[in-house]
Amino acid sequence: MEEKEQDILETLKSIGLTEGESKTYLALLSIGTSTVGPIVEKASVSSSKVYIILDKLIHKGLVGIVIKNGKKNYTAAQPEKIIDYLNEEQQKVERNKMLAKKILPELRLKKGSVSKLPIVELTKGRKGTEMFYDEVYANLKEGDEYIATSGTRISFKLQNYWFKQSEILAKMKIPQFLAYEYDVWHKKDPSAHKRKKRKNYFPKILDKKYKDLPTIITIGNYSVVSDLDDGGELFTLLIRNKNLTNALKRLLVVVRDSGNVPEGFEEKFKKNS
């Protein structure tokens, strides 16, 4: 398969078609109206599955049926129908979002209070990590403080995520006290971190000797610890325990106090002192 055709195939897959559906649709575009035999050969799909694939494409509006000489033939819809299909899928997503919002209160009740949840949970990957943060932010209250260390590995791994967090905290008027590894502060992309735009934000830069730190965040009665495993995969621990979180806060304060106020933030620290 040529590189350009492979790119088209991957794009079709990314918008929601399976590999078999993508190959079959492309085959029909190439050969025009056809019976099943040539489709199987051109698309390199299983003859036992081609009818299922064609049926799914018909339901998506991307393939039509034509009867020729008493035989069923298939034809690809105009490529513009892909946009119609995506619009319909978007409408389904919006409807499902509305339905999901209606049942959120009942789902929250079923999940139960924090006291019924395990003290420590482990997840892997970005989505699981963001799920942990969603829970933390859903339980924030006035008077909470955000104290954290920003380690190189996770800070760069999730560098487009932190500013969104900072905005949420600022809206809730929760002060953010952070200690950054030297390289995190000096080498991170300014368009991603947007530190000058952050509000209620008090960073410090650690000495170069403090390196290879995990990213640890404490807020309320929660602690979140993230790092990479030996294979380079993101993993995160969520700790729901007041005693351990308070102990980690005290430790993070000691680490942060050893840091220096970065240039341009001196006035913020004076106002907060």
DSSP characters for 88-136?
HHHHHHHHHHHHHHHHHHHHHHHH--GGGS-SEEEEESHHHHHHHHHHH
CA 53 from chain center: how many Å? 30
Q: Which pLDDT band holds residue 174 (cuts at 50, 70, 90)?
A: very high
pLDDT at 125 over 80: yes
Q: What is the mean pLDDT of the chain?
A: 89
Query: What is the reported pLDDT for 107?
Result: 80
- Give tens-digit pLDDT for 202-211: 999 999 998 8
Percent of the chain topping pLDDT 90: 56
DSSP characters for 216-267?
EEEETTEEEEEEE-TTS-EEEEEEE-HHHHHHHHHHHHHHHHTSBPPTT-HH
Q: Which pLDDT band holds residue 113 (cuts at 50, 70, 90)?
A: low
Q: Using CA atoms, how far apart are residues 215 and 217, in angstroms rounded to an integer?
A: 7
Determine if the pTM surpasses 0.85: no
Say which residue, 270 or 151, is predicted with more confidence: 151
Shortest CA distance to 222 belongs to which of 245, 251, 252, 247? 245
CA 175 from chain center: how many Å? 25
Q: Using CA atoms, how far apart are residues 117 and 65, in angstroms rounded to an integer?
A: 54
Is residue 53 within 8 Å of residue 100, measured between CB atoms? no
**Mean pLDDT calculated for residue range 197-226:** 92
The tokens 């430790």 sit on which residue?
A: 251
Q: Using CA atoms, how far apart are residues 124 and 226, in angstroms rounded to an integer?
A: 10
- Taken in order of first residue, the domains within the chain and their CATH numbers are 3-82 (1.10.10.10), 116-272 (3.30.870.10)
